[in-house]
Amino acid sequence: MMNRYKHLLAQWRPLPHPNRLLWSLAIGLTTGSLGVVFALSYAALIFSGNLTGQLSTGFGLVLFSVATTRMIVALTSSYPGMVADLSTVPTAILAWSVGMVVRELPVGTSPGEVLVTVLATIALTSVLTGSVLLLLGLFQLGEWVRLMPRSVVGGFVASTGWLLVKGAIKLMTNQTLDWAHLPMLIQPQVFLHWLPGLLLALYLLWLSRYPLHPLAMITSLVAAIAVFYGLLSLSGISPNQAIVHGWTLPIANDQGVQTLWQSLSHLHLGLIHWPAIAKQWMCIATAIVTAAISLLMNVSGLELVTKRPIDLNQELKVAGATNLLLGLSGGILSFQSLSKSVLSHKLGNRDRFPTLADSGLCIILPLLGSSFLCYFPKPVLGGLLLFLGLSLLLEWVYAAWFKLSRVDYGIVQLIWMTSSTIGFLQGLTLGWLLAGGLLLFNSKRLLRQLGK
């Protein structure tokens, strides 16, 4: 019994051996730096369009949420090297939901009410998702998540990939990606704004095909920023002129931490437009389901990479309690990340300290204010979002042809094509109807087999 407690204590111990302290710190700074870039891209995706003026608030919100989640998950996960982050699919669905909430607000709504309603939408999604994940973990129901038809999930993911592509183009050009705006997008001045992002996305797609060094991604992004400013210098454009011409983020460089972090309180309840949020119930439900499925896939994938068992129900409880707490404080949905955890593992992380260190980096940057944000290149952020979106589309539009049955493949394409041509909400509605039909059909078939 004593040996068992010693083993558990050794697993929980947050500090590494003194000989590995510097290396563990370097791992934390590496994963933290990559997390910051992804956080900025997700913040730019959510706080776009009419919310562009609140981008600094979005960046602070995302970073504080990631820092909180990483610290709690690092200390309570059943796997010591677990790293948490925002997840691509639920975040993209949340971004679309936020945009629709803003559209539903009455004309003349004050900027303060708009921001509070957006923050309430984000917080409510976190609270509901956290509650569902916690209940799944408490009642040992993690495996039930697998019942969701894979083809329907694939349709949701492919639809999300298209949302990311559209969001990337909107970020880089301030133009919507549709047939009506296509002539505008191919005009030389606009074309030059999204072409570098597309080239970066294609490079990252090519890079992801090969088993390269774990630092290849962060090195590539740093190199892309360097190339961007090198080309600006050759063109005779100063960093301040780049801001004016829309090459970098439109953020005032004198905003402090008060602007970067604005949490909700009981004083804001009267300013929230609840009917606009209620209309997005289907998007919120889809974000919850995709979050549960993403968490299951992340944990299962990490088990294969690390070759060690991870308690799925424990991870569900950790993610659930964390997001419940996060949502009550106004934070954004985040949970265990496969890519960041695998990166940390491949860099040699076997304990909890590196994740605590990289969460510290996520806290420090917002405290420094927004002076550095206005110089971040849009093509790099847009290219990263394009890479994520094209990756999902390639997986479920091209590669799925070789992995799924013809019927399942057709369902995937039907859902995402409906989302991209008719509307995202219509695509979700079709997906949920198909999911219900497939679950009913499979349950009847299972009952017939049991009857025999």
Closest CA to 114 of 292, 276, 234: 276
Evaluate whether 66 touches 35 at the Cβ level (below 8 Å). yes
Q: What's the rounded Cα separation, in Å, for the pair 69 and 386?
A: 26
CA of residue 449 relative to chain centroid, distance: 41
Neighbours of 76 (CB within 10 A): 17
pLDDT score, position 450: 42
Q: Give the separation between CA 345 and CA 165, rounded to whole angstroms.
A: 30
Q: Contact 116/124 with Cβ under 8 angstroms?
A: no
What pLDDT sits at residue 251?
Answer: 67
Residue 129's pLDDT is 95
Specify the pLDDT at position 212: 61
Query: In this structure, how many other beta carbons lie within 10 angstroms of the beta carbon of residue 221?
Result: 21
Distance CA 171, CA 58 (A): 14
What's the alpha-carbon Rg for the chain, to the nearest Å?
A: 22
What does the CA dihedral 296, 299, 303, 309 come to, rounded to 10 degrees? Answer: -90
pLDDT block averages, 10 residues each, the chain of length 452? 44 53 73 81 86 82 89 87 86 90 87 89 94 92 74 86 88 80 82 89 85 72 90 85 81 53 67 90 90 86 80 91 91 86 74 77 71 80 88 89 89 90 84 82 58 48
Integer Cα distance of 373 and 41 in angstroms = 11
